[in-house]
Structure 1
Amino acid sequence: MDTRLYLRFEAVGIAVATIAAYQQFGGGLLLFVLLLFAPDVAAVGYLLGDDIGAVTYNLAHVYVWPLGLVGVGLWSGSGLAVSGGLIWTFHVAMDRSIGYGLKAGSFRETHLGRIGRSG
């Protein structure tokens, strides 16, 4: 089996666990809907070229920042930080599960393979 498929299955597991944690934590639907696609704002870096776009997109699409936000929220008692971090984590996992991986230059080239049609 292609190792990229394992990474996509792993992302599905993370997405499911994150949604369960969000529900257990009592996060609201409105906040979830409002923040779900917020990390995609980082793609605006592509307006400055592929190299800058890949960096800005990748910085917003790794697990370390949202999980750090969850940790800070738990440590400080901030429910908003925990909720935001869980939504962000879900977003990253959702993207990875459907093949939108970390960018390798152009938007279509990712660590999970090429996005879209070839040619």
Structure 2
Amino acid sequence: MQLTDTATAEPAGAVTGGLRTMLRLEGLALFLGMTLLYWVWDGSWWVYAALFLAPDLSFAAYFFGPRFGAMLYNAAHTYMVPMALMTVGFVTAEPLVLSIAMIWLAHIGFDRALGFGLKYSTGFGFTHLGRIGKRST
């Protein structure tokens, strides 16, 4: 199995070029949009600050190996759960649920804008947005 594309030195399956730039800009738009919505919503900035990095607690799963780490990291960094929370928050008119969803989506957008994509089980540095971290030579 080929782990990297020899022409680009990127993990197999990672996006490159203009598509990678577009996905990172999409992440930036999500971060800015959710943060603006949170401001308009008049959410507590203490709550925002306290919860913004909460999804990164999933890093701890890497202590149990790259496969489990990638699984938990990806679960905490996909749009599915925060979008479901946002829907539930709107349906039930629960401000805290909506706040958590907006903060979570802002975090995901921020990570994507920085190039931190969903992880492959080959290791933390192998993402759908390309290789992150130090590259061995």
Same-fold call, TM cutoff 0.5: yes
Pick one of 48, 60, 66 that aligns with 2:82. 66
Q: Confirm whether residue 102 of structure 1 aligns to residue 118 of structure 2.
A: yes
Q: Distance in 2 between matches of 1:12 and 1:60?
A: 18
Q: Confirm whether residue 33 of structure 1 aligns to residue 49 of structure 2.
A: yes
Pick one of 92, 109, 116 that aligns with 1:76. 92
- Once the two structures are aligned, what percentage of the paired residues are identical? 35
Match of 1:20 in 2: 36
Deviation at 1:44, TM superposition (A): 1.3
Q: Confirm whether residue 116 of structure 1 aligns to residue 137 of structure 2.
A: no
1:75-99, Cα deviation, whole Å (9 max, x unpaired): 1111000000000000000000000
Task: Give every structure 1 segment of 4 or more consecutive aligned residues whose post-TM-superposition deviation is greater than 4 Å.
Answer: none
1:9-51, Cα deviation, whole Å (9 max, x unpaired): 1111111111111111111110000000100111111111000
Higher RCO by CA contacts (8 Å cutoff, separation 6 or greater): 2
RMSD of Structure 2 on Structure 1 (CA): 0.9
Higher normalized helix content (fraction of residues): 1
Find the residue that maps to 1:80 and give its secondary structure: helix
Q: Confirm whether residue 88 of structure 1 aligns to residue 104 of structure 2.
A: yes
Unaligned runs of 5+ in 2: 1-16
User: Greater CA deviation, 82-91 or 69-78?
Assistant: 69-78
Unaligned runs of 5+ in 1: none
Deviation at 1:2, TM superposition (A): 2.9
Number of residue pairs aligned between Structure 1 and Structure 2: 119
Deviation at 1:3, TM superposition (A): 1.2
Deviation at 1:117, TM superposition (A): 2.0
